[in-house]
Amino acid sequence: MKIIILKGDITKVKADAIVNAAHHTLMGGGGVDGAIHRTAGSELIEECIQLRKDKLPDGLKTGEAVVTKAYNLPAKIIIHTVGPRFYSDNLDLLKNCYINSLKLAEDNACKTIAFPAIATGAYGTPIEKSAEIVKDVLDNYKSNIIKEVILVLYSDEYFNVYNRVLKE
C-alpha cells in the first residue's frame, strides 16, 4: 500500500473510502465529524438514524467501524469509527479503529482510503502517539485490495509530526 500524507480538509479528498472520527451515537458532532456531515448532506444523518434502529441500538463501540453511503462527498463510502478518549480509554483501541476501517474498505472493494488523525482533537490523543500507532498498523497491514492510504492532517504542526514519525 502506498502511503500519502496530506495537509488539508478530508471532505475535499477524493478516495473510495473516507473515514470519519465519529461519536458513538453516530449523530454527528464537531471537528471532522461535523465537516463530513455538513458536506455529505442531510441524507447521511437519516441513514445513521436508520442504522441505529436496525443494527446498533446502543451505538457504535470504541474501536469498531461501520459503513454508510457517502452522498455528496467525493467518495464511494464513509467508514465511521469511534476513537478512544485519551484520558479514560485504552489507547490500544485506536489501533482497532484503523484496522477495522481497513478491513471494511477491503470488504467494500475500495482501492483508496483517506483517514483523519482519529481521536487527536476532542478526544485528546497526542499527535505523536497517533502517528506511532498509525505507523505500526500500516507497517504490518498487508492488502491485495487497498492500493493507497491517504493520511489527512488538518494543521501544519500535525502534518509535520506525521511526516517525521512515519518516514523514520
Q: What is the C-alpha separation between 119 and 141, in angstroms, rounded?
A: 20
116 contacts ligand AR6 (rule: CB under 6 A): yes
Residue 91, φ and ψ in degrees, nearest 5: -65, -20
Binding flag, residue 29, ligand AR6 (CB under 6 A) = yes
Distance CA(78)–CA(66), nearest Å, equals 8
Q: Are strands 112-115 and 17-21 parallel, antiparallel or unpaired?
A: parallel
Residue 33 a catalytic site member: yes
For ligand AR6, which stretch binds (CB under 6 A), given 49-57, 61-69, 151-159, 160-168? 151-159
Interaction between residue 63 and ligand AR6 (CB under 6 A): no
Candidates 1, 6, 45, 122; binder of ligand AR6 (CB under 6 A) is 122
Identify whether the C-beta of residue 10 lies closer than 8 Å to the C-beta of residue 116: yes
* 119 contributes a contact to ligand AR6 by CB under 6 A: yes
Residue ranges in contact with ligand AR6 by CB under 6 A = 9-11, 21-23, 29-33, 35, 83, 116-123, 152, 154, 158
